[in-house]
């Protein structure tokens, strides 16, 4: 008979446990009970102990027989053990089976740039985005005038066009940065190396979106500019080398001419002495003097050719350096203008996004620009301390969190 009664009690306890696990939502494994939570307490075989009990301001729950039990800051297993110990110590039950679950979580509170500030019931898996929807969505500032349906279509069209212009400017900025890096780098690229660029680094031949088309064109333009610079540098190097060869040949020729001129001078002196002694006629001396003069003229012409060759070499170097400097100046000016254009386009997109937000619309997904992303701060209490947590729209919330949303300043257009 006793064994039958024990078996019946065990069956009742097991059934009650299964019933509780079926109808009561399980708590987070790491979630601690705090003030404001409502606990579901069940003692198998003692119906008067089964109830929902709210954790009061003192962090306690009030239960029949045992009175107040401190539960704040403890997990469910610890609370179950404390209730069981209180029942045993008070000689109410010898070996009670105590079940404790969270029946209702303490709410989270949301405020700031929302339509309805206040408490939002907490459920496991709640995120900032869910809480924002429960609060009615974002509340726009009064500085942005609302727009109608017709204006929304116009704004979306402006947004797409401005976004495309911004993408073009961004691609141009990347190209100009690459040009500046190339212009400042040592001239080591050759036309052959540019022509033999691997196919996988070349732009896509069939871009699928306008942004990819712009990037492809800028990539091709950068490739052409790189080839042009390499070709110009290769031409300048070849021209300088040819000028150096010409100067070297002229210097060698001048050496031979000096030697020949010296021999002619010596011959003229010997002939003069023979003329003075009457052994050689005067016309022969005059002929040798004319040859000496010709050799002097040839040497001077050689010096002139060498000077012109040096001048040509220096001119090529100067023009190459000047062209590189002018290219850098133009590229930097274009880079500065592109940065200014990007800032202007971004401001325009912010203005459009503000008006769309006032109309309750999101940005066009094709633009790649979100309408307005609110700043999210969560104030989370742990024990007696409250810490500030930077979050985003997908951050998970915990019971009792205080969520504050704020919008960035929207430019006025």
Q: Dump pLDDT digits (tens) for 313-340.
A: 888 888 888 888 888 888 888 888 888 8
CATH of the domain at 48: 3.30.1950.10
Count of structural domains within the chain: 3
For residue 359, being part of any structural domain is answered with no
Per cent of the chain over pLDDT 90 is 18
For residue 168, being part of any structural domain is answered with no
**Best mean pLDDT range from 84-98, 271-285, 335-349:** 84-98
Q: What is the greatest pairwise CA distance in the chain?
A: 171
CA distances from 211 to 53, 167, 193, 216, 412 (A): 60, 6, 28, 9, 28
The domain boundary, picked from 64, 84, 106, lies at 106
Question: What confidence category does residue 147 fall into, taking pLDDT thresholds of 50, 70 and 90?
Answer: low
For residue 362, being part of any structural domain is answered with no
- The verdict on 102 and 207 lying in the same domain is no
Contact 72, 60 (CB under 8 A): yes
- The verdict on 199 and 88 lying in the same domain is no
Residue 279 lies in domain:
187-347
The two structure tokens encoding residue 163: 């976004």
Of 223-232, 299-308, 404-413, the one with minimum mean pLDDT is 404-413
Q: Is the pLDDT of residue 362 over 60?
A: no
Work out the average pLDDT over 159-188. Answer: 80
Distance, in Å, from the CA atom of 138 to the CA atom of 360, rounded to the nearest integer, reads: 9
- The verdict on 210 and 250 lying in the same domain is yes
**Cα 334-340-358 angle, rounded to 5 deg:** 145
For residue 165, being part of any structural domain is answered with no
pTM of the model: 0.44
- The verdict on 240 and 127 lying in the same domain is no
CA distances from 390 to 41, 106, 133, 379 (A): 36, 21, 19, 9
Burial class (CB in 10 A: 0-12, 13-18, 19+), 166: buried
- The verdict on 130 and 71 lying in the same domain is no
For residue 84, being part of any structural domain is answered with yes
- The verdict on 92 and 129 lying in the same domain is no
Of 181-185, 224-228, 329-333, 343-347, the one with minimum mean pLDDT is 181-185
52, β-bridge pairs: 40
Residue 125, phi-psi category: left (phi > 0), alpha (psi -120 to 50), beta (remainder): left
Q: Is the pLDDT of residue 39 over 90?
A: yes
């Amino acid at each position: 008979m006793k064994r039958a009664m024990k078996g019946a009690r065990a069956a009742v306890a097991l059934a009650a446990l299964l019933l509780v696990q079926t109808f009561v939502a399980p708590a987070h494994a790491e979630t601690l009970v705090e003030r404001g939570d409502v606990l579901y307490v069940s003692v198998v075989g003692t119906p008067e102990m089964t109830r929902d009990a709210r954790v009061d301001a003192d962090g306690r729950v009030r239960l029949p027989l045992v009175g107040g039990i401190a539960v704040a800051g403890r997990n469910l297993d610890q609370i179950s053990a404390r209730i069981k110990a209180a029942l045993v110590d008070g000689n109410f039950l010898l070996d009670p089976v105590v079940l404790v679950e969270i029946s209702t979580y303490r709410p989270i509170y949301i405020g700031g740039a929302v339509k309805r500030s206040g408490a939002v019931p907490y459920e496991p898996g709640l995120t900032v985005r869910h809480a924002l929807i429960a609060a009615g969505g974002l509340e726009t500032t009064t500085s942005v005038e609302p727009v109608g349906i017709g204006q929304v279509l116009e704004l979306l069209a402006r947004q797409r066009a401005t976004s495309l212009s911004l993408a073009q400017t961004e691609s141009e900025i990347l190209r100009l940065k690459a040009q500046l890096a190339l212009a400042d780098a040592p001239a080591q690229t050759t036309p052959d190396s540019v022509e033999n660029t691997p196919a996988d680094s070349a732009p896509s031949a069939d871009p699928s979106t306008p942004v990819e088309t712009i990037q492809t064109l800028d990539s091709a333009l950068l490739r052409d500019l790189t080839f042009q610079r390499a070709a110009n540098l290769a031409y300048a190097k070849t021209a300088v080398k040819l000028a150096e060869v010409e100067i070297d040949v002229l210097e060698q020729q001048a050496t031979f001419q000096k030697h020949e001129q010296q021999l002619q001078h010596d011959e003229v002196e010997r002939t003069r002495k023979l003329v003075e002694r009457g052994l050689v006629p005067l016309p022969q001396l005059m002929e040798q003097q004319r040859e000496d003069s010709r050799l002097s003229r040839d040497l001077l012409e050689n010096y002139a050719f060498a000077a012109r060759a040096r001048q040509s070499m220096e001119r090529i170097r100067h023009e190459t350096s000047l062209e590189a400097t002018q290219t850098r100046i133009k590229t930097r000016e274009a880079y500065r203008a592109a940065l200014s254009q990007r800032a202007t386009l971004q401001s325009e997109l912010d203005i459009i996004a503000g008006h769309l937000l006032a109309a309750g619309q999101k940005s066009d997904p094709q633009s790649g620009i979100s309408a307005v992303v609110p700043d999210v701060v969560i104030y989370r209490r742990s024990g007696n301390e409250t810490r500030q947590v930077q979050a985003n729209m997908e951050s998970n919330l915990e019971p009792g969190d205080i969520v504050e949303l704020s919008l960035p300043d929207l430019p006025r257009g």
